[in-house]
Amino acid sequence: MISIDRPTADLGDVRVTNRAAVLRHVRRHAPCSRADVAAHTGLNKATVSSLVAELIEHGMLRETGLTENRVGRPATMLVLDGSRYAGLGLRVGADELVAVAAGPGGDPVLTWRRAFPAATAGPEETVKALAALVRRAVTRIGADRTVLGLTVAVPGLVDPDGDVPAAPALGWRGVPLAASVRRALRDRGFPVAVDTEANLAVLAERRHGPYAATTDLVHLTGGPAIGAGLISGGRLLRGGRGFAGDVGHLPLAADGPSCDCGRRGCLTALLGVDAVIRRLLPDAGPVTDHLPEIERIQALARAGDEPVRTGLTEIGRLLGQAASVLSGLLDPEVVVVGGHLAALAPWLLPAAHAELAARTPVPPGVRLEASTLGSAAGALGGATAALATVEAGRLPAG
Ligand SMILES: [Zn+2]
C-alpha cells in the first residue's frame, strides 16, 4: 500500500513497496487475478497492471491459462514464476555442509549434503570447501538461473557484519566469515550474507513448513549446539547485538553433565547431539559423523531396547522443560524442533508433551512439534533469505 505518512519517500520507494505487496499477495493467494490483487492490496487497477507487467517482464510472475470461475469476463490468473532465479543457502554443520538452491516460488532446485569435519578442519579450510561447493552449485544451476544471493548458516553467534564471534560447536572464535567467503568466491556478482542456523531455520519453517500463518514461532535447532530462532509478532527477534536465541547454555539441571562452557547441566550438555549419543550409545566413542549414530539409536528404539527407550523418555522430559522456558518468555504458538531432535521425535515428544502440559499454567499452551525440513532447514532458510531483496520489491539485476 502507498504510505501516506512518509511524504518524503520518492516514487521509486513507493513502487518498490507496492511491488512487494503484489508479490506477497500472489505468493499467498495464487492463482489470483489482477483484480484480486487490486482489491486486496488497496492499489488501483492501473497501478497493479503496470506492476504486474513489470514483474512478468522480469520473470517474477507469470500468467496461467486458468480463469476465475465467476460471472463476467474471464480473468487471466497470476502465479509466482521465479524460474529464472535462485537463492543459495549453505549450512555449516560440525560434520557436514548442506547446500540448497531455491527459486522465489519456493521450488527447491538443488539439495546437496557433503560430509565435512568443519569442527576439526578450522575456518580457513571450511571457507575453501564452502566456496568450492558454491562454485559447483552455481555451475549446475547457472545455465538456467541467475543466482541472486548466498546466505551461510552457522551454528553460533553472528554479528550484523557477518562475523562469527563464537561458534563453540565448530570450535571457532572471531571468524570474519562473510568477508572470507566473499574473498574466496571473488566477485560472483551476488551478495553474500551470514546468519545463525537458528534464525534461518525458523525462516524456513515459516516459509516452507506448515506454519505460514503462524506469527509466533520458535525453532529449536538440533545438532552439537542448541540454538533458538525466534519469530514474535511475525518478526524475527535478533536482540541488541544479533545474539538473541543463544539458549544453548540455559541452565536446566544443576547436577547435570558438564558442559564445554565449564558449567553443568546446560541445554546443550543435555540435549545436544553429542550429549544424546554419549548417553544412549555409551560404546560409540568420539563421533565424527552423527547421522549413522542417530540411525543406530532409531533402530534400537524401534526394536524396543529398554535402556535406549528410558534414556529417550528422560531426554524428552528435558526437552519439555526447555520448551516451557521458551513458552514462558515468548508465548509462541508452536515450538518446532529440528536436527536430531526431529529425527528422534517419535520417542522424545510424548514425554516432552507430558512435561510441557504439567508446566502450562493455562491450557492448551504451546504446541511442540518436529520439523519436517530435516537437516536442510538452515540451508533452505539461507536460500530464502538470499531472495529477500527481490521479495521486498527490488527488481533482480540478472
Ligand atoms: Zn554450557
The SS3 assignment for 242 reads coil
The alpha-helical segments, DSSP class H, found in the chain are: 11-29, 34-41, 45-57, 118-142, 177-185, 197-208, 267-271, 273-280, 290-302, 306-330, 339-343, 345-358, 377-385, 388-391
Residue 19 CA to ligand 1 centre (angstroms): 46
Distance from the alpha carbon of residue 202 to the mean position of ligand 1, in angstroms: 23
Cα(236) to centroid of ligand 1, in Å? Answer: 25
C-alpha span between 176 and 27 (Å, rounded): 35
Amino acid 172: pLDDT: 95
* CA-wise closest residue to 153 among 169, 138, 137: 169
DSSP at 372 = S
**Residues of the chain predicted below pLDDT 70:** 1-11, 66-73, 398
At 11 the pLDDT is: 67
CA 247 to ligand 1 center in whole angstroms? 9
Distance 229 CA to ligand 1 centre (A): 18
pLDDT at residue 66 in the model: 62
> Would you state the cell numbers that stand for residue 315, as one nine-digit string?
531426554
Instruction: Dihedral sign for Cα 42, 44, 47, 50, please.
Output: positive
Task: Report the pLDDT value the prediction gives residue 95, as an integer from 0 to 100.
Answer: 87
Distance 155 CA to ligand 1 centre (A): 15
* 370/389 Cα distance (integer angstroms): 30
Distance (angstroms) between ligand 1 centre and the Cα of 156 equals 13
Ligand 1 mean position, distance from CA 224 (Å): 12
The angle that helices 306-330 and 273-280 make with each other, rounded to 10 degrees, is 150
Per-residue pLDDT reduced to its tens digit, 19-46:
999 999 998 888 889 999 999 999 999 9
Residue 134 phi, psi (nearest 5): -65, -45
What's the grid cell of residue 96? 557436514
Q: How far is the CA of 249 from the centre of ligand 1 (A)?
A: 4
- 288 CA to centre of ligand 1 in angstroms: 21
Q: Would you say 61 and 98 are in contact if contact means Cβ atoms under 8 Å apart?
A: no
pLDDT at 208: 86
CA of 265 to the centre of ligand 1 (A): 7
Q: Return the CA Rg of the chain.
A: 23
98: β partners: 91, 113
Cell triple for 56: 512478468
Residues 165, 169, 170, 176, Cα dihedral to 10°? -20
Cβ 384 vs Cβ 90: under 8 Å: no
**Nine-digit cell at 19?**
511491488
DSSP 394: P
Q: What is the pLDDT of residue 7?
A: 44
C-alpha cell at 303: 526394536
Q: What torsion, rounded to 10 degrees, do the Cα atoms 181, 182, 185, 187 define?
A: 170
Q: Cell 547421522 belongs to which residue? A: 291
Closest CA to 264 of 246, 252, 276, 247: 252
Which class for 18: exposed (0-12), middle (13-18), buried (19 or more C-beta within 10 A)? Answer: buried
pTM for the structure as a whole? 0.90
Residues 6+ away with beta carbon under 8 Å from 310: none
